Chains A and B, each alone.
Chain A
């Protein structure tokens, strides 16, 4: 069954060089990244610590590719934290919009070789790919603009959610 899910892109943290956004689905209290943190902070504190410190380094340096690994497809902006050099089982999926803007999504424990083999991780990446597609279209139409570290314009959007009954 295909359902439309309404969401907004919310600014959650802003620094001198970088802004972090996340996704807030309609009717939900927490953003996707907040849900991820709340779910794993007590059970996987070390992995959450690694991801948080990576984000702190991104705050200092900018959203550069040496801080993350690519996920998704070449044509989209889906990335994965932490970097391949860090040791962690938790994966966080994000959209790297520019070197100054990172949209933090959701993720989970990676117990399979690729995220595609895990239905939940796959759904996290697919949701971001759909959001990226809509943002791209809106950028093309000029209804969303990137101004330095700020996303300007209509940040509310709908995506098709095929996994929800």
Chain B
């Protein structure tokens, strides 16, 4: 493998923001191609669905068109699939209940874990703490 010193020097200019932005660009293009392929469609079919010329669609996918959210929305509606997953479902926070056995005040040994997604649920489900509900390890 051969490397170029000037190119390597310039690679130091790649920031995390640049990486994220370029990766998104590649993702959009790949996603459109993948949706078309999975539906057995090509650029011509997408052009017909959007009532555009094939040349214009070609520009969208390879050429000089700058994608806007409006264009992406049109493509999503035409293909009936999302390019970005923008569901409004909030992420559930996971809480961990850890049962511990206190051998003495200074030392905590062992634990048994249970994962819950709501503190209320957790309290309702919380079993009575006794020796049998805990697993101990050395």
Chain A residues positioned under 8 Å from B22 (CB to CB): 50, 53-54, 57, 82, 86
Nearest-neighbour CB distance to chain B for A29, whole angstroms, equals 11
- Which of A14, A33, A53 is B14 in contact with, Cβ under 8 Å? A53
Total residues of chain A contacting the partner, CB 8 A: 35
* In the complex, chain A residues 42-94 whose Cβ is within 8 Å of any chain B Cβ: 45-46, 48-50, 52-57, 65-67, 69-70, 82-87
* In the complex, chain B residues 1-56 whose Cβ is within 8 Å of any chain A Cβ: 1-4, 6-7, 9-11, 13-15, 18-19, 21-23, 25-26, 28-30, 33
B91 proximal to A (CB < 8 A) = no
Q: Do A67 and B26 have beta carbons less than 8 Å apart?
A: yes
Given contacts A13-B2, A13-B3, contact A69 B11 (CB under 8 A): no
A160 proximal to B (CB < 8 A) = no
- Nearest A residue to B27, CB-CB: A85
Q: Do A56 and B2 have beta carbons less than 8 Å apart?
A: no
A12 proximal to B (CB < 8 A) = yes
Q: Do A49 and B15 have beta carbons less than 8 Å apart?
A: yes
- Which of B18, B26, B59, B62 is A49 in contact with, Cβ under 8 Å? B18
Q: Do A85 and B67 have beta carbons less than 8 Å apart?
A: yes
Give CA–CA (A13, B6) in the complex, Å.
Answer: 11
Count of A-B residue pairs with CB < 8 Å: 90
Chain A residues positioned under 8 Å from B15 (CB to CB): 46, 49
Nearest-neighbour CB distance to chain A for B97, whole angstroms, equals 43
Given contacts A13-B2, A66-B33, A69-B64, contact A52 B14 (CB under 8 A): yes
Given contacts A13-B3, A38-B6, contact A52 B66 (CB under 8 A): no
Nearest-neighbour CB distance to chain A for B43, whole angstroms, equals 12
* In the complex, chain B residues 81-107 whose Cβ is within 8 Å of any chain A Cβ: none
Nearest-neighbour CB distance to chain A for B124, whole angstroms, equals 49
- Which of A13, A45, A85 is B29 in contact with, Cβ under 8 Å? A85
Q: Do B13 and A41 have beta carbons less than 8 Å apart?
A: yes
Q: Do B1 and A12 have beta carbons less than 8 Å apart?
A: no
Q: Do A41 and B18 have beta carbons less than 8 Å apart?
A: no
Chain A residues positioned under 8 Å from B127 (CB to CB): none
Nearest-neighbour CB distance to chain A for B113, whole angstroms, equals 39
B65 proximal to A (CB < 8 A) = yes
Q: Do B18 and A53 have beta carbons less than 8 Å apart?
A: yes
B63 proximal to A (CB < 8 A) = yes
Q: Could you give, for residues 104-124 of chain B, a 1 whenever the CB lies within 8 Å of some chain A CB and a 0 otherwise? A: 000000000000000000000
Q: List the 3 closest A-B pairs by CB distance, nearest first.
A: A85-B25, A49-B13, A14-B2
Return 21 A-B CB contacts under 8 Å, by A number.
A15-B1, A34-B6, A34-B7, A37-B6, A38-B6, A41-B9, A46-B13, A48-B13, A49-B10, A49-B14, A50-B21, A53-B22, A55-B7, A66-B30, A66-B62, A69-B62, A84-B66, A85-B66, A85-B67, A86-B22, A87-B21
